[in-house]
Amino acid sequence: MNKVIGTATFAVVAAAMYWLCGNAHIDIFPCTGKASIRGPLGYTLQSNSDSCSLLEHNRGVATDGSYSKLTGAGWASLAAFCLGIGLVAGLGAGIATRSVGAARA
């Protein structure tokens, strides 16, 4: 039973973390894109390589032409972030239910 609870907790928490990353400005994932930079002659688009959020990635191209896209490393760190937190939560739930089951026996 504890494996089922641990697996279900892992899946739910990992999916919730992906949803959270898609709806919040968690700007820790490597990305590339173009940023609108204000200069003396107005705004210009310049290439940049920085960190951004999944929210910015999903937003697409803005009206001023700026955009951010996750790199391969960005997708890998997003997966590690969401799956890592899900794994910790799943293991914790599995261990907790095993401890409760052992106490009842």
Q: What is the mean pLDDT of residues 50-57?
A: 88
C-alpha 6 chain-centroid distance: 21
pLDDT digits (tens, 9 = 90+) for 55-78: 888 888 887 788 889 999 999 999
Residue type, 59: R
pLDDT digits (tens, 9 = 90+) for 4-38: 888 899 999 999 999 999 999 888 999 998 888 77
What's the pLDDT at 13? 94
Instruction: Kindly report the pTM of this predicted structure.
Output: 0.77
What's the pLDDT at 99? 66
> Regarding predicted confidence, which is higher, 12 or 45?
12
Instruction: Give the chain's domain count.
Output: 1
What's the pLDDT at 88? 92
CA distance 39 to 21: 32
Residue type, 90: G
Full domain range(s) for residue 20 = 2-104
What's the pLDDT at 100? 63
